[in-house]
């Protein structure tokens, strides 16, 4: 079945450092790809998405590009802030899966940014 693999955390960075969180997927169809973020004590919220190959999703300084050839959707940010400390989840959804259309989640990567 479809699956998502994320790099293990925790990731610890200093403020203004460059961030990459790796995400790769396996899918039989042509899924849409997502990054969600969970701040401490809160529910998950959609950060960005990409619906087809070579699409780039971006939001709040974060970016991720849908790479079909490497089946990847790595999350990047050029300069992290303390407020970016959170858990980041990569996910896919195959919209051709009929009634089985639902998100497949990675395990999450915890990011801690120190001042």
Partner 1 sequence: DARVTQTPRHKVTEMGQEVTMRCQPILGHNTVFWYRQTMMQGLELLAYFRNRAPLDDSGMPKDRFSAEMPDATLATLKIQPSEPRDSAVYFCASGLGQNTGELFFGEGSRLTVL
- State yes or no: residue 56 binds partner 1 (CB under 8 A): no
Number of H helices, E strands in the chain: 0, 12
Q: Which of 17, 44 has the CB closer to partner 1?
A: 44
3-class SS of residue 115: coil
Residue 20: count other Cβ atoms within 10 Å of its Cβ: 12
Q: Which of 45, 83 has the CB closer to partner 1?
A: 45
Residue 68: count other Cβ atoms within 10 Å of its Cβ: 11
- State yes or no: residue 42 binds partner 1 (CB under 8 A): yes
- State yes or no: residue 57 binds partner 1 (CB under 8 A): no
The site that binds partner 1 (CB under 8 A) totals a number of residues, namely: 22
CA 53 to chain centre: 15
Interacting residues toward partner 1 by CB under 8 A: 32, 34, 41-46, 49, 89, 91-93, 95, 99-103, 105, 107-108
């Amino acid at each position: 079945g479809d699956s998502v693999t994320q790099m293990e955390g925790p990731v610890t960075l200093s403020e203004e450092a460059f961030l990459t969180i790796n995400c790769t997927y396996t899918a039989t169809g042509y899924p849409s790809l997502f990054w969600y973020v969970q701040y401490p004590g809160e529910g998950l919220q959609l950060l960005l998405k990409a619906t087809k190959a070579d699409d780039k999703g971006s939001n709040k300084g974060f970016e991720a590009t849908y790479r079909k050839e490497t089946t990847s959707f790595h999350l990047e940010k050029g300069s992290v802030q303390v407020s970016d400390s959170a858990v980041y989840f990569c996910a896919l959804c195959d919209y051709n899966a009929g009634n089985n259309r639902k998100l497949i989640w990675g395990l999450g990567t915890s990011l801690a940014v120190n001042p």
